[in-house]
Amino acid sequence: MAIRFIVAGFILSLLSACGSEPLDGAALAQEKGCVACHGAQGKALVASYPNLNGQWERYLRLQLRAYRDGPRVNAIMNGMAAELTDQEINALAAHYGRES
């Protein structure tokens, strides 16, 4: 009987740990298709796409919000950013960028 409570408690603590865990930016970049143009580490695949590696994290975050919310206009990136949540933008910027 007690074992059931222990197992249930363990599962609950796992679930709450997942909820508070920051998103994995590297996995998100794969999942969202960013890697197809910007590469897994931010080195772009062709010269017409910008490198993201080494850029400030804060700058990347602001650009992604600007693409999503409208101020920065680009046919590709407005579409790519349209559905991103703030949390996803933070994780992607943290993955590709570096701390200021």
Between CA 64 and CA 41 the distance in angstroms is 17
Residue 32 sits in the site that holds ligand HEC (CB under 6 A): yes
Could you say which residues in the range 1-20 bind ligand HEC, by CB under 6 A?
none
In this chain, which of 80, 90, 91, 94 binds ligand HEC, going by CB under 6 A? 80
CA-based nearest residue to 37, from 65, 71, 99, 79: 79
Work out whether 90 is an interface residue with ligand HEC (CB under 6 A).
no
∠ CA 86-92-93, rounded to 5°? 85
Chain residues binding ligand HEC by CB under 6 A are: 32-34, 36-38, 49-50, 52, 60, 63-64, 74, 76-77, 80, 92
